[in-house]
Amino acid sequence: MNAPIIDPLQGDFPEVIEEYLEHGVMKCIAFNRRGTLLAAGCSDGSCVIWDFETRGIAKELRDKDCVAAITSVCWSKYGHRILVSSADKSLTLWDVVKEERIARTTLPQTPLQARLHPGSSTPSICLACPFSSAPMIVDMNTGNTTVLPVSISDTGNGVVPPSRNRFSDGSAPFSPTAACFNKYGDLVYVGNSKGELLIVDHKNVLICGIVPVPGNAVIKNMVFSRNGQYLLTNSNDRTIRIYENLLPLKGGLKFLEESNHAGDEQDGFEKLKAVGSRCLALFREFQDSITKVHWKAPCFSGDGEWVIGGSASKGEHKIYIWDKAGHLVKILEGPKEALIDLAWHPVHPIVVSVSLTGLVYIWAKDYTENWSAFAPDFKELEENEEYVEREDEFDLMPETEKVKESDVDEDEEIDIMGVEKDSAFSDSDMSQGEICFLPADPSPDVPEPQDKFVGSNSKQGDSNQSVSALSEEAGQSGRLTSHISTPLEGNIKSEFS
């Protein structure tokens, strides 16, 4: 998707709220792999899929059995399936294109987060992190759950065999345990309430390595960067930590097994720590030492160059942006509503945040029109340059007419068909038939007086409340039709036409 003349905006970050999306009360969001679709879980149990390019609703997944708030939403790798976890303790797997429910399971506890296995295009295995017990692998087809170990006994006698349907660590109740798949899903990384990072082989239910996090604070969130090279942990000691993944991306599990046999350290806890130190290396720590704020929903940018975290303080909507070197580059401030979820667009420098009121704010770069793009021979300069004229600059030379020589060799072969692979998506397997967009079904015009569109400026599109066809959708009580609204006042720079 990168054309050579579009500015390489990959290394940049957003600055202002561009737009907001409104549809019921949205609670959590997830982009598909290419960022063309945004799935949002709502408080009424439905999941809305926004077409991010038109900022309109593409599909709505609604299940009559599920009316409790959605706690998390996750896409399958190529966009064919969506997994939603809900406050009524259920997990629902949807087929996106057919808008059909594939499977539904109920867990003993409300899952706060559920992630589909990232390695397959039609996954039915997922990782669920329940409210106050150990994370588990759930097979959506059979409903089987496999609880993952969250600690080993301190005597160091090896792994405590996990038993099903029992809380496997005796820690205090209501302590969430964070977990995530690595990039290809062969390993699960678990962060427990003792501040330890466990590397778990989920197929054999075996802890392969342990990395104690400095500070030993409860780990609240964990997420990998898109390229699988960095792991982010968010701990109760108000610190976000970035670890470098030392394992090879593909076949990490094999590598671990081989190195396990190779090393001859002591057994048990020390051995697991030694293995762990070969898997992850602490890279950076981020915290706000002045306000000592807790972090909410931290994550990486699409290219892994930036880290963002939302402030968990109620009553403020602040997003901190750090670069990989550890410098705080920007604090985005939104309207005074608590932030509950955050996502960075996989490709563009766009950040999407969900506020407590259920609105989804889209943050983008504050664009100043590149005027030199409108005139071909002009080049914008950063600062004034002193121009020194040539001796013969203004001489009239009538005998040598300036002939425009075409220095182009018109006989050169050109290729109008060849296409380069998209470098931003290195493991794009086109044979999988990735879903990049959902076919748009235009809603038919209703024969009633059409309202006239006000002449709009190029940045925002039309003002809201286009009445005619949109308000006729019956049968969905309380459902607002999607519309693009002008941004709120306050911290947002006013738009110019």
Footprint on this chain of another protein (rule: CB under 8 A)? 1, 3-6, 36, 51, 53-58, 348, 367, 369-370, 373-376, 404, 408, 410-419, 436-445, 450, 452-453, 455-459, 461-462, 466, 469-470, 482, 484
What is the rounded distance in angstroms from the CA atom of residue 185 to the CA atom of residue 382?
47
Closer residue to another protein (CB): 241 or 348: 348
Minimum distance from CB of 475 to another protein (Å)? Answer: 18
Alpha-carbon torsion, ordered 117, 243, 113, 130, to 10 deg: 100
What is the rounded distance in angstroms from the CA atom of residue 99 to the CA atom of residue 432?
Answer: 19
**Angle of helix 268-277 versus helix 252-262 axis, rounded to 10:** 130
CA distances from 187 to 36, 205, 398 (A): 28, 10, 77
CB of 215 to another protein, least distance (A): 42
Closest CB 476 distance from another protein, rounded Å: 16
| Least distance in angstroms from the C-beta of 423 to another protein | 13
Task: Tell me the closest approach of the beta carbon of residue 372 to another protein, in angstroms.
Answer: 9
Closer CB to another protein, residue 335 or residue 349? 349
The residue (of 57 and 492) whose beta carbon lies closer to another protein is 57
**Choice between 262 and 419, CB closer to another protein:** 419
Quickly tell me which residue has 């920007």 as its tokens: 330
Cβ distance to another protein smaller for residue 65 or 445: 445
3-class SS at 144? coil
C-beta of 119 vs 461, nearer to another protein = 461
State the Cα torsion 154-157-159-164 to the nearest 10°: -80
Q: Strand pairing partners for 179?
A: 190
Nearest distance from C-beta of residue 374 to another protein, angstroms: 6
| Minimum CB distance to another protein smaller for 36 or for 221 | 36
C-beta closer to another protein: residue 173 or 475: 475
Q: Count of CB atoms within 10 A of residue 360's CB?
A: 21
Compute the least distance from the CB of residue 429 to another protein, in Å. 17
DSSP-derived 3-state class of residue 262? helix
In the three-class reduction of DSSP (H, G, I as helix; E, B as strand; rest coil), residue 41 is classed as strand
Whose CA is closest to 301, among 330, 280, 281? 330
Minimum CB distance to another protein, residue 6 (Å):
6
Listed in sequence order, the residues at least 6 apart from 195 whose beta carbon sits closer than 8 Å to its beta carbon are: 212, 213, 215, 216, 217, 218, 219, 235
| Residue 274 main-chain phi, psi, to 5 deg | -65, -40
- The answer to whether 69 touches 110, Cβ cutoff 8 Å, is no
Task: Return the number of the residue (258 or 473) whose C-beta is nearest another protein.
Answer: 473
- Would you give the end-to-end CA distance of the chain in angstroms? 28
CB of 443 to another protein, least distance (A): 6
> Which residue, 130, 244, 117, 113, is CA-closest to 182?
117
